[in-house]
């Protein structure tokens, strides 16, 4: 059985001092003995505070992006080695906001995934269609292209190190959640593409998260779907109680 992963993407929210307060309150709720895996991805400047306050807990910390180059003259960029050295184990790659506002494409995500794996980080590769693409009926084509593009030249051994996140762009930050059936349909399709690209066993063992207006009130129905192996949560991960509640929901379903 795939262990559920409950992940928070804070995007550009929470200063380092706000992060410290969040993490103290979060820790006070009890972070040991959960059945799900937990990941939080704060802004770069909050990583040290989070790593320090959550030290000794099983919570993983991740970056929200990284540069595909090792080091050098790339003003404003953060390398995989810097994330790892700061205490990160994961990194989000290809989030739709990176694609939309920073013009990242599949080739770029592929280079980043290779570098992240080389440096021992677990990439969480984000894919998903826009509203127009869904309305045009090209959802499968879009997620297939994004997925295969991100995985180009990766060995099965490396693909096994990834987490995939399906985030329909029209559901992000809009309050419009994909129905569990809509999400399950795409998750199943993604797993089929993974099986085609690798083999059945690899595809069955990879985790595919759902993201897009996930919240305490819809976590259970989403996580109950066969091919939904966790959540990538934006807005609701900024509130300690909401995020914790979703972890508890995951625990119940993972037991
Ligand atoms: P929301 O949960 O705020 O819709 O954001 C989802 C997301 O983009 C997570 O990466």
Q: Percent of the chain at pLDDT above 70?
A: 100
- pLDDT classification of 253: cutoffs 50, 70, 90: very high
Centre of ligand 1 to C-alpha 178, Å, is 12
Residue 99 contacts residue 130 (beta carbons within 8 Å): no
Closest-lying ligand 1 atom to the alpha carbon of residue 96: 8
Which class is 5-253 in CATH?
Answer: alpha beta
Taking CA atoms only, the protein residue closest to ligand 1 atom 2 is 234
Centre of ligand 1 to C-alpha 188, Å, is 21
Q: How far is the C-alpha of 175 from the C-alpha of 189, rounded, in Å?
A: 24
What pLDDT is recorded for position 177?
82
Is the pTM for the entire model greater than 0.85? yes
Mutate to test the pocket of ligand 1, among 6, 8, 9, 218 (most ligand atoms within 8 A of CB): 9
Q: What is the pLDDT of residues 27-49, one digit of tens each?
A: 999 999 999 999 999 999 999 99
- pLDDT classification of 230: cutoffs 50, 70, 90: very high
**Residue 42 DSSP symbol:** -
- Residue bearing the bigger pLDDT, 254 or 54: 54
Mutate to test the pocket of ligand 1, among 96, 173, 237 (most ligand atoms within 8 A of CB): 173
Using the CB atoms, write b or e for 93-126: b if 16+ within 10 Å: bbbbbbbeeeebebebbbbbbbbbbebebbbbbb
Catalytic residues: 95, 167
Closest-lying ligand 1 atom to the alpha carbon of residue 11: 10
Q: How far is the C-alpha of 118 from the C-alpha of 85, rounded, in Å?
A: 14
What pLDDT is recorded for position 21?
98
Which residue shows structure tokens 């998750």? 187
Q: What is the pLDDT of residues 14-31, one digit of tens each?
A: 999 999 999 999 999 999
What pLDDT is recorded for position 255?
67
Q: Which residues line ligand 1 (CB under 6 A)?
A: 9, 95, 167, 172-173, 211-214, 232-236
Pick from 179, 162, 161: nearest CA to 170: 179
Arithmetic mean of pLDDT over the chain: 97
Closest-lying ligand 1 atom to the alpha carbon of residue 211: 6
146 CB-near residues (< 8 Å, 6+ apart): 94, 106, 109, 127, 128
Centre of ligand 1 to C-alpha 130, Å, is 14
Average pLDDT over residues 107-132: 97
What pLDDT is recorded for position 1?
82
How do the domains of the chain map onto residue ranges? 5-253
Q: What is the pLDDT of residues 195-227, one digit of tens each?
A: 999 999 999 999 999 999 999 999 999 999 999
Q: How far is the C-alpha of 238 from the C-alpha of 199, rounded, in Å?
A: 37
Centre of ligand 1 to C-alpha 199, Å, is 30
Q: What is the pLDDT of residues 155-198, one digit of tens each?
A: 999 999 999 999 999 998 887 888 999 999 999 999 999 999 99
Average pLDDT over residues 92-96: 98
Q: What is the pLDDT of residues 49-77, one digit of tens each?
A: 999 999 999 999 999 999 999 999 999 99
């Amino acid at each position: 059985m795939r262990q559920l992963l409950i992940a928070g993407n804070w995007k550009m929210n929470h200063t380092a001092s706000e992060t410290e307060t969040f993490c103290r309150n979060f820790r006070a709720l009890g972070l040991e003995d959960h059945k799900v895996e937990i990941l939080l991805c704060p802004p770069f400047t909050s990583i040290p505070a989070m790593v320090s306050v959550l030290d000794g807990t099983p919570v993983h910390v991740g970056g929200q992006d990284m540069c595909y180059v090792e080091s050098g003259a790339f003003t404003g960029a953060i390398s995989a080695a810097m994330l790892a050295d700061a205490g990160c184990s994961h990194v989000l790659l290809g989030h739709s906001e990176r694609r939309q506002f920073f013009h990242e494409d599949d080739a770029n995500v592929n280079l980043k995934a290779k570098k992240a794996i080389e440096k021992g980080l677990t990439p969480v590769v984000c894919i998903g269609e826009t509203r127009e693409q869904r309305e045009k009926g090209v959802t499968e084509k879009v997620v297939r292209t994004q997925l295969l593009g991100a995985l180009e030249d990766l060995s099965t051994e490396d693909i096994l190190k990834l987490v995939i996140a399906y985030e329909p762009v029209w559901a992000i930050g809009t309050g419009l959640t994909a129905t569990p059936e809509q999400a399950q349909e795409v998750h199943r399709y993604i797993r089929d593409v993974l099986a085609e690209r690798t083999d059945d066993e690899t595809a069955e063992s990879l985790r595919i998260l759902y993201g897009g207006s996930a919240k305490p009130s819809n976590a259970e129905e989403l996580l109950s779907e066969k091919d939904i192996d966790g959540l990538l949560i934006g807005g609701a991960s900024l509130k300690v109680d909401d995020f914790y509640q979703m972890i508890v929901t995951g625990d119940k379903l993972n037991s």
